């Protein structure tokens, strides 16, 4: 490129020298130089106009104007750039077309929106699942087409770790799951899946557990009643039957607790707290839990400290009491005798927090993601020995989901555990509560 530039400068210099020589030979140096420069400027203007006219032509007319020298090389260079640009565009268009064709072949809906929520593109499955029509819906805000207040709140929250599920707005018996991914300047890629089959299986599971639990209540009550009657008259039975009857009574009581927890969990899973939004007197709830905790603590004689520094929240009192009492009773059960348990109801920046801290045996952190699963046990033998059902933390999890809350767990082997239930500020109703020690 540098050599070609020097070549053009050399040719211009030679032309200028020729003009000067001619002017000196005929004695008209100034006029000859002026005429030569003027001719060069006119020629340059003509070539510029030709270039402008060529660039303004349609894309099909790519052949460059004929010229020579600097302008000829300039036309040819631009022409080569146009050819490369067209080929790059064709390749890019081919890639985009292949991506669109592959996305259209998916059974899941795919939607792309800009930073303002306006729909830029969607595939055929999204049209089928959500009823989008082209081109009428292009550029519309996605939450104006999916008219659900919960969807709009989820979209604006930008916390997409948990997929959003709701019935289809055009076919209510179809359940859809929305998975969001942020990219670029708050653009969103939305994957829509038909999870009706999974939803129906989950509903069947819930119905099965609920129905079986209800059906077991009556015969188990009869069995427990007869066992209690027999135990009351055990002195009339041979000594060898006493231990068997005690074991049967103990297991019968454990089965009753299990069925009770299963029914409670099924109820909490299907309940809609939005229809039961009432202020919960947390001081009263925690005082009730404290009285129950002192009663079951008589054998282990833990040092238990309760502190209430936050106010009330909105929600379902039965659910909240069940969740918080599960955490407290678990701490009492699984902390070795003579331990220390600290229970606090406090206000933090993000909302209210119920924290239960103990100095028990603790457990490895790899158990934490699965602790809220039904019947999951850190120590497979420990819950049976202690009489637990394995459903306590599953109940806590669903109560917090119903109340827009979150459960955080930390534990270290040999140092104890801490369970923290967070309730958001949107449910906090008393920000001026004076700290009270219970």
- Structure-model confidence comparison of residues 28 and 312, the more confident one: 312
pLDDT digits over 144-202, tens only?
Answer: 888 888 888 888 888 888 888 888 877 878 889 999 988 888 899 999 999 888 888 87
- What is the per-residue pLDDT for 340? 92
Asked if pLDDT for residue 213 goes beyond 80, the answer is no
Write the CA distances from 102 to 54, 89, 137, 179, integer angstroms: 39, 20, 22, 19
- What is the per-residue pLDDT for 180? 92
- Structure-model confidence comparison of residues 19 and 356, the more confident one: 356
Residue ranges per domain, the chain? 1-100, 107-270, 275-432
Q: What's the CA gap between 306 and 345, in Å, rounded? A: 8
Strand order in the sheet with 175-183: 119-122, 109-113, 187-194, 175-183, 164-167
Q: Which CATH architecture has domain 107-270?
A: 2-Layer Sandwich (3.30)
- What is the per-residue pLDDT for 345? 95
Tell me the Ramachandran region of residue 139: left when phi exceeds 0, alpha when psi lies from -120 to 50, beta otherwise.
Answer: left
- What is the per-residue pLDDT for 407? 92
Asked if pLDDT for residue 430 goes beyond 80, the answer is no
Mean pLDDT of the region 21-34: 72
Write the CA distances from 273 to 262, 315, 320, 398, 399, integer angstroms: 19, 6, 11, 11, 9
Q: Which CATH architecture has domain 275-432?
A: 2-Layer Sandwich (3.30)
Looking at every residue in the chain, the average pLDDT score rounds to 81
For the record, the structure tokens of 2 come out as 């540098």
For the record, the structure tokens of 296 come out as 């079951």
Q: What's the CA gap between 395 and 324, in Å, rounded? A: 10
- What is the per-residue pLDDT for 253? 79
pLDDT digits over 351-404, tens only?
Answer: 899 999 999 888 888 888 888 888 787 765 554 555 567 788 888 998 998 888
Mean pLDDT of the region 247-275: 76
pLDDT digits over 270-305, tens only?
Answer: 766 666 678 899 999 999 999 999 988 888 889 999
Q: What's the CA gap between 132 and 146, in Å, rounded? A: 10
* HSE toward the beta carbon, residue 281, CA cutoff 13 A: 5
- What is the per-residue pLDDT for 431? 45
Asked if pLDDT for residue 436 goes beyond 60, the answer is no
Phi, psi angles (nearest 5°) of residue 208: -60, -50
Q: What's the CA gap between 392 and 285, in Å, rounded? A: 18
Asked if pLDDT for residue 435 goes beyond 50, the answer is no
Same fold, 107-270 and 275-432: no
- What is the per-residue pLDDT for 4? 61
**Per residue in 131-164, is it b (16+ CB within 10 Å) or e — as a string?**
ebeeeebeeeebbebbeeeebbebbeeeebeeeb
Whether 176 contacts 129, CB under 8 Å: yes
User: What is the H or E stretch that residue 115 is in?
Assistant: none
Pairing of strands 351-358, 416-424: antiparallel
Q: How many residues does the chain have?
A: 438
């Amino acid at each position: 490129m540098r050599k070609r530039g020097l070549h053009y400068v050399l040719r211009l210099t030679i032309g200028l020298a020729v003009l000067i020589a001619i002017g000196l030979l005929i004695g008209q140096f100034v006029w000859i130089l002026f005429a030569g420069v003027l001719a060069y400027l006119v020629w340059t203007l003509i070539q510029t106009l030709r270039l402008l006219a060529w660039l303004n032509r349609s894309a099909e007319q790519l052949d460059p104007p004929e010229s020579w020298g600097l302008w000829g090389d300039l036309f040819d260079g631009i022409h080569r750039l146009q050819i490369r640009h067209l080929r790059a565009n064709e390749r890019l268009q081919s890639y985009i077309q292949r991506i669109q064709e592959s996305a259209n072949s998916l059974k899941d809906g795919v939607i792309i929106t800009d930073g303002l929520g306006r729909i830029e593109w969607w595939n055929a499955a999204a049209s089928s699942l959500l009823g989008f029509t082209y081109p009428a819906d292009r550029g519309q805000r996605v939450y104006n087409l999916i008219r659900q207040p919960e969807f709009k709140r989820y979209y604006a929250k930008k916390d997409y770790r948990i997929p959003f599920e709701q019935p289809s707005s055009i076919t209510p018996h179809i359940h859809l799951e929305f998975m969001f991914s942020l990219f670029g300047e708050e653009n969103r890629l939305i994957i829509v899946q038909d999870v009706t089959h999974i939803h129906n299986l989950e509903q069947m599971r819930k119905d099965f557990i609920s129905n079986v639990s209800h059906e077991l209540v009556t015969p188990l009550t009869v069995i427990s009643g007869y066992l209690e009657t027999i135990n009351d008259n055990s002195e009339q039975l041979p000594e060898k039957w006493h231990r068997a009857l005690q074991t049967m009574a103990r297991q019968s009581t454990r089965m009753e607790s299990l069925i009770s927890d299963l029914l409670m969990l099924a109820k909490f899973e299907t309940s809609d707290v939005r229809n039961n939004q009432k202020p919960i007197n947390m001081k009263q709830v925690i005082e009730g839990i404290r009285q129950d905790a002192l009663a079951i603590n008589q054998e282990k004689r833990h040092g238990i400290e309760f502190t209430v520094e936050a106010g009330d929240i909105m929600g379902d009192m039965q659910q909240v009491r069940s969740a918080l009492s599960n955490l407290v009773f678990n701490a009492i059960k699984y902390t070795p005798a003579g331990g220390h348990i600290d229970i606090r109801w406090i206000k933090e920046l993000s909302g209210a927090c119920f924290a239960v801290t103990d100095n028990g045996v603790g457990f490895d952190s790899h158990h934490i993601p699965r602790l809220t699963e039904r019947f999951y046990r850190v120590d497979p033998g420990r819950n049976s020995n202690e009489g637990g059902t394995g459903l306590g933390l599953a109940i806590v999890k669903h109560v917090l989901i119903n109340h827009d809350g979150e459960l955080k767990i930390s534990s270290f082997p040999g140092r104890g555990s801490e369970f923290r239930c967070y309730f958001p500020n949107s449910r906090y109703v008393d920000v001026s509560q004076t700290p009270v020690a219970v």
